[in-house]
Amino acid sequence: MGNRKATLLVLPATVISFFVVVGGLLAALMQSLGLLPFAGPPTLNSSAYLTVAPDLPSAVALSFGIAAASTLIAVIFGFVTAMLVMRGRFGGRLIAMVSTWSIPFPHLVGAASMGLLLGDAGFLARIFGTDSWPELVGGPAWIAVIAAYSWKESAFVALVVTGVLLTRATAYDETAALLGAGRLRRLRHVLVPLSLPALGVSATIVFVYVFGSYEVAWLLGRPYPEPLPVMALRLFSSASLSSRPEAAALAVVTTIVALGAAGLAALALRRVPLWQ
């Protein structure tokens, strides 16, 4: 009885999720295998995958690199922010306020702002002089892209970690201090382990999001080599009909890597000494 009611309650959410997640993925998969052509009879073939195969290693590596670097910076800056917010007082309140600012920024707008800041005619280039200004936007190191992602996501990580720490960390911090642990020891033996689950979950969400995200890399990146989503969208909107299955093949590959990363992270998180 209770079970049937429960099923009715989750039904609306799961039906539309099922349609979008499973339906969308199946359609993309069929498209990539030539089963949903724009014109002509459907034929099962792997030519789309074979066509994109040569570009895949560099695209996957690039997307992976951007996502890993952005996640690392976001986690470090986010944790530092959370620690400062936790200390309270004026500095903590200030940091809590300014980190909230990036939350309503759409990623695209964050990227545009980062372009205005870091571009070769950007605000920093104007301040520090033009001659030696490095190629941050569209450069080989993808610095503006990584900066835009980690700028927005560090605030996200900070919020998740403060949400977990604020309620319990002070009592544990005091307990550890009275057991003789100094500041650094408390950080290493108490605050980091307590934040680890929150850091792990938020890092996974950030990594998977950045890996499959398009607009920031498209706006601030360089034309070649391309990250997976950028290549996929270029093929998707290109004029030739044969490029649609190739775009779908890239979408399938991106999804597999993203889901794989999320799965691995879930397994790893299960081994972290969690609480409740």
Partner 1 sequence: MAVILPAPAESRKEATRNGLFASRRLGRWGRWLLVLAMTVWFLAPLLPLALWFFAERWSFPGILPQEWGTGAVQEALAQGAVPAFGRSLGVALAVMAVATPMGLLAARAFAFHRPHGAGFLSALVFAPLALPPFAAAFGLNVLFLRLHLPPMFGIVLVLAVYALPYTTFTLRVAYGAYECGFEDEARMLGASRWRVLSRVHLPLLAPALMRAAFLAFLVGWSDYVVTLLVGGGTLVTVPLLVASAAAGTGNDAMLSVLSVTAVLPPLVLLLGAAIHTRRRLGVRS
Partner 2 sequence: MSATLVIEDLITTFPGTVRPALAGISLEVRAGSCTAVLGPSGSGKSTLLRSVAGLEVPDAGRVVLGGTDLAPIRPEQRGISLVSQRPLLFPHLNVLDNVAFAARVRGVPRREARRDAADFLDVVQLGDLGNRRATELSGGQQQRVALARALAARPGLLLLDEPFSALDPGLRTSMHDLLAEVRRQLSPTLLLVTHDRDEAVAVAERVALLGNGCLLQHAAVQEIYTRPVSLEVNRLMGGLNEVPGTVRGGRHESELGSLALPEDAAGASGPGTLIFRQESIMVSGVDGPGIPAIVSAVKPQGARRILTVQVGGQLLHAEAPWALPVAQGTPVRLQIPRSALWVLPEEPTATTTGSTPNATGDAIDQLVTDHV
Complex with partner 1: residue 53 or 109, whichever CB lies closer: 109
Least Å distance between CB 193 and partner 2? 4
Give CA–CA dist 104/5, Å, rounded. 37
223 binds, among partner 2, partner 1, none (CB under 5 to 8 A by kind): none
Give CA–CA dist 201/191, Å, rounded. 16
Inter-residue contact 247 to 272 (CB < 8 Å): no
53 binds, among partner 2, partner 1, none (CB under 5 to 8 A by kind): none
Least Å distance between CB 163 and partner 2? 17
Helix (H, G, I), strand (E, B) or coil at 103: coil
Among 107, 145, 226, 246, binds partner 1 (CB under 8 A): 107
Least Å distance between CB 18 and partner 1? 6
Q: Of 39-47, 49-57, 76-84, 190-198, which segment contacts partner 1 by CB under 8 A?
A: 76-84
269 binds, among partner 2, partner 1, none (CB under 5 to 8 A by kind): none
- Binders of partner 1 among 121-140, rule CB under 8 A? 121-123, 125-127, 129-130
Give CA–CA dist 144/138, Å, rounded. 8
Give CA–CA dist 266/262, Å, rounded. 6
81 binds, among partner 1, partner 2, none (CB under 5 to 8 A by kind): partner 1
Q: Is 154 left (phi over 0), alpha (psi -120 to 50) or beta?
A: alpha
Task: Tell me: does residue 172 bind partner 1 (CB under 8 A).
Answer: no
Give CA–CA dist 226/221, Å, rounded. 8
Inter-residue contact 152 to 145 (CB < 8 Å): no
Among 153, 195, 198, 217, binds partner 1 (CB under 8 A): 153
Task: Tell me: does residue 151 bind partner 1 (CB under 8 A).
Answer: yes
Q: Could you tell me how far CA 236 lies from the centroid of its own chain?
A: 22
189 binds, among partner 1, partner 2, none (CB under 5 to 8 A by kind): partner 2
Binding residues (CB under 8 A) for partner 2: these are: 171-172, 174-182, 185-186, 189-190, 193-194, 196, 273, 275-276
Q: How many CB atoms lie within 10 A of CB 203?
A: 20
Task: Tell me: does residue 80 bind partner 1 (CB under 8 A).
Answer: yes
Give CA–CA dist 179/172, Å, rounded. 11
198 binds, among partner 2, partner 1, none (CB under 5 to 8 A by kind): none
Q: How many CB atoms lie within 10 A of CB 219?
A: 20
